[in-house]
């Protein structure tokens, strides 16, 4: 191998690695989340998915988890599973789990709506 070929290989490695990114983006993560996570954790990550409601399990609120736990903890839980949550270490690649983590960081914080005085929980005018 001449010096020119060696230089191309050495300079090309960072370009290849940067094209791979840090393991995915939030858009990819959203698709993966919808397929593997939303049935239990819900569309917004608050733990209110249809499977959770049917089975009576209480999945983690991922909006809180992403604020309170480290990236390493969350990626580890995705890989190993926890309680009723299956391990995704053999189902999703490291890059896919990273993409899900990136997606979780984009979830807006949901607050439980509270009823105002004079309004019932449906928003209709209440009687006084």
Any domain includes 2: no
What is the domain count for the chain? 1
Quick check: is 118 in a domain?
no
Q: Is residue 77 a part of any domain in this protein?
A: yes
Pick the range with the lowest mean pLDDT from 16-25, 44-53, 58-67: 16-25
- In degrees, rounded to 5, the angle at the alpha carbon of residue 33 between the alpha carbons of residues 55 and 92 is 100
- Quick check: 63 and 46 in contact, CB under 8 A? yes
The reply to whether 85 falls in a domain is: yes
Domain annotation covers residue 98? yes
pTM of the model: 0.67
Residue labelled with tokens 């397929």: 35
- pLDDT higher than threshold 60 for residue 120: no
User: Does residue 60 register a pLDDT over 90?
Assistant: yes
Question: Do the domain assignments include residue 70?
Answer: yes
Is 112 inside a domain boundary? no
For residues 60 and 42, what is the distance between their CA atoms, to the nearest angstrom?
A: 10
* Separation CA 39–CA 115 (nearest Å): 28
Residue 9 has pLDDT above 60, yes or no: no
Range of the domain at 100: 20-104
CATH number at residue 78: 1.10.760.10
Least confident of 21-30, 31-40, 90-99, 106-115: 106-115
């Amino acid at each position: 191998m001449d010096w020119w070929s060696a230089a191309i290989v050495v300079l090309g490695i960072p370009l290849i690695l940067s094209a791979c990114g840090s393991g995915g983006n939030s858009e990819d993560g959203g698709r993966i989340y919808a397929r593997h996570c939303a049935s239990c954790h819900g569309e917004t990550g608050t733990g209110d998915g249809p499977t959770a409601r049917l089975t009576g399990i209480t999945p983690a609120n991922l909006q809180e988890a992403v604020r309170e736990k480290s990236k390493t903890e969350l990626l580890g839980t995705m890989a190993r599973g926890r309680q009723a949550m299956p391990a995704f270490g053999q189902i999703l690649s490291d890059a896919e789990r990273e993409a899900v983590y990136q997606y979780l960081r984009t979830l807006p914080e949901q607050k439980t709506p509270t009823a105002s005085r004079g309004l019932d929980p449906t928003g209709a005018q209440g009687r006084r």
